Amino acid sequence: MVKCSKCGTEVASPLKTWSMVGRPSKTGERFKLTLGLFKCPICEKRFRVVLGKERVTIKGIIKEIKGIEKGLMQTSRSLREKIEKLESEKADLLEEIDKLRKVGEEKASALEEEVATLRKEVESLRKLLGDLE
């Protein structure tokens, strides 16, 4: 819990937190600061507080970079898997579309043949009825 800088009320949780590397100290050391933005529930004042401070070392930076690299590798793997699944699904869908297109074309040609037969039949009936009149 931190206290409001204006009225002294204790504030439990920050609105936002972030990290930054501070300026070098007189001895040349750098620190990674974790800051929090708070808002007092009583006086509504916003204020910042340093929540954490740790010395920045090359080992720490290397460890952080390795963690980031590991996360990126996992993300890359999962994205590759998703892409492969989507490409497989795309291929299946294209194959299904081709099958449906062939079935549709077959039905259309069968209907065209039926219509042509019916037209011939209509024409022959007209000729027959024309001869009777």
pTM of the shown model:
0.48
Considering the chain, what is the average pLDDT of its residues?
Answer: 90
Q: How many residues does the chain have?
A: 133
Residues 48/38, Cβ–Cβ less than 8 Å: yes
Name residue 38's beta-bridge partners. 47
Query: Residue 21: its pLDDT value, please?
Result: 83
Give per-residue pLDDT as tens, 3-60.
888 888 888 889 999 988 878 778 878 888 899 999 988 898 899 988 888 888 778 7
pLDDT score, position 86: 97
Is the pLDDT higher at 60 or at 2? 2
